[in-house]
Chain A
Amino acid sequence: MYNFDFVKPATVDEAVKALADDEAQALGGGQTLIPTLKQRLASPSKLVSLTGIAEMKGVSKQGDAVVIGGGTTHRTVAEEAASAYPGLADLASRIGDPAVRNRGTIGGSLANNDPSACYPAAALGSGATIVTNSREIAADDYFQGMFTTALEEGEIITEVRFPIPQKSAYAKIAQPASRFPLVAVFVAQYGDGVRVAVTGASNNGVFRWSEAEAALSGNFAADALDGLTVASDDMIGDLHGTAAYRSHLVGVMAKRAVAAAS
Chain B
Amino acid sequence: MSVAQPLPHDAARLHVTGAARYVDDIPTPRGTLHLAFGTSPAAAGTLTALDLDAVRESPGVVAVMTAADLPFDNDVSPSNHDEPLLATDAVHYLGQPLFLVVATSHGAARRAARLGRATIEKSTPILTIAQAEAADSRFEDGPRVYARGDVDAGFADAPHRLSGVMEIGGQEHFYLEGQAALALPGDNGDMHVHSSTQHPSEIQHKVAEAIGQHMHAVRVETRRMGGGFGGKESQGNALAVACAIAARATGRPCKMRYDRDDDMIITGKRHDFRITYDVAYDDAGRILALDVRHDTRCGWAMDLSLPVADRAMLHADNAYHLPAVRITSHRWKTNHQSATAFRGFGGPQGMLGMERIVDHVAHALRADPTAVRRANFYASGGDISGQKIQTTPYGQEVDDFIGHEMLARLEETADYAARRAAVDEWNARGGVIRKGLALTPVKFGISFTLTHLNQAGALVHVYADGSIHLNHGGTEMGQGLFQKVAQVAASRFGVPMEAVRITATDTAKVPNTSATAASSGSDLNGMAVRNACDTIRERIELHLAQLHQCRPADVVFKNGRVTAGGADYSFAEVAALAHQARISLSSTGFYKTPEISWDRIKGHGRPFFYFAYGVAAVEVAVDTLTGENRMLRADILHDAGASLNPALDIGQVEGGFIQGAGWLTTEELVWNDKGALRTHAPSTYKIPACGDRPEVFNVALWDGENRADTIYKSKAVGEPPLMLGIATLMALSDAVASCGEAYPDLHAPATAEQVLAAIHRARGA
Give the interface of A toward B (CB within 8 A): 173, 176-178, 239-242, 245, 248-249, 252
Contact = CB atoms under 8 A, between A and B. Distances in A.
A252 B626 contact: yes
B686 A177 contact: yes
7 contacts: A177-B666, A177-B683, A178-B683, A178-B684, A239-B679, A241-B753, A249-B626
A176 B679 CA distance: 13
B682 interface: yes
Contacts of A242: 753
Nearest to A244: B753
A171 to B, nearest CB: 10
Contacts of A173: 626, 628, 752
B670 interface: yes
A172 to B, nearest CB: 11
A176 B686 contact: yes
A90 B670 CA distance: 33
Contacts of A249: 626
A249 B626 CA distance: 7
B625 interface: yes
Contacts of B666: 176-177
B685 interface: yes
B419 interface: no
B417 to A, nearest CB: 33
A242 B752 CA distance: 12
Given A176-B666, A252-B626, A239 B684 contact: yes
Contacts of A252: 625-626
Most buried by A among B626, B628, B668: B626
B548 interface: no
Nearest to A249: B626
A176 B752 CA distance: 10
A178 B685 CA distance: 9
A63 B240 CA distance: 68
Given A173-B628, A252-B626, A245 B684 contact: no
Contacts of B684: 177-178, 239-240
A33 to B, nearest CB: 16
A245 B679 contact: no
Closest 3 CB pairs of A and B: A177-B686, A239-B670, A176-B686
Contacts of A240: 684
B678 interface: yes
A142 B628 CA distance: 33
Nearest to A238: B678
Contact of B756 (A176, A239, A248): A248
- B interface SS class: loop
B678 A239 contact: yes
A173 B756 CA distance: 14
Contacts of A178: 683-684
A240 to B, nearest CB: 8
A248 to B, nearest CB: 7
A240 B686 CA distance: 11
Contact of A245 (B682, B685, B753): B753
Contacts of B756: 245, 248
A245 B626 CA distance: 9
Contacts of A245: 753, 756
Nearest to B679: A239
Given A176-B752, A239-B678, A249-B626, 7 more contacts: A173-B626, A173-B628, A176-B686, A239-B668, A239-B670, A245-B753, A252-B625
Interface string B321-343: 00000000000000000000000
Nearest to A180: B683
Nearest to B683: A178
Interface string B677-695: 0110011111000000000
B758 to A, nearest CB: 13
A175 to B, nearest CB: 8
Interface string B650-683: 0000000000000000101010000000110011
Contacts of B679: 239
Interface in B717-765: 752-753, 756
Contacts of A239: 668, 670, 678-679, 684
Interface string B558-599: 000000000000000000000000000000000000000000
Nearest to A255: B625
A173 B755 CA distance: 15
Contacts of B753: 241-242, 245
Nearest to B111: A40
Most buried by A among B679, B686, B752: B752
A242 B760 CA distance: 15
Interface in B284-310: none
Interface in B623-669: 625-626, 628, 666, 668
Most buried by A among B683, B753, B756: B753
A239 B685 CA distance: 10
A177 B626 contact: no
A242 B754 CA distance: 11
Nearest to B754: A245
B682 A177 contact: yes
Contacts of B670: 239
Nearest to A240: B684
Nearest to A251: B625
A240 B684 CA distance: 8
A241 B670 CA distance: 11
A178 B687 CA distance: 11
A178 B753 CA distance: 16
A220 B682 CA distance: 40
A209 B685 CA distance: 31
A34 B159 CA distance: 66
Contacts of B668: 239
Nearest to A177: B686
B198 to A, nearest CB: 27
B182 to A, nearest CB: 26
Nearest to B688: A176
A241 B684 CA distance: 12
A240 B753 CA distance: 9
Nearest to A178: B683
Most buried by B among A176, A178, A248: A176
A45 B115 CA distance: 23
Contacts of B625: 252
B94 to A, nearest CB: 15
Contacts of B682: 177
Contacts of B626: 173, 249, 252
A249 B684 CA distance: 20
A109 to B, nearest CB: 17
A21 to B, nearest CB: 27
Contacts of B628: 173
A248 B755 CA distance: 14
A177 B683 CA distance: 5
A177 B687 CA distance: 8
A169 B575 CA distance: 75
Nearest to A179: B683
Nearest to B666: A176
Nearest to A176: B686
A242 B753 CA distance: 8
Contacts of B752: 173, 176
Nearest to B669: A239
A241 B751 CA distance: 10
B433 to A, nearest CB: 13
B401 to A, nearest CB: 38
A231 B386 CA distance: 67
Nearest to B752: A173
B367 to A, nearest CB: 33
A145 to B, nearest CB: 23
Nearest to B682: A177
B311 to A, nearest CB: 30
B662 to A, nearest CB: 10
A176 B686 CA distance: 6
A242 B751 CA distance: 12
A82 B753 CA distance: 33
Nearest to A173: B626
B623 to A, nearest CB: 9
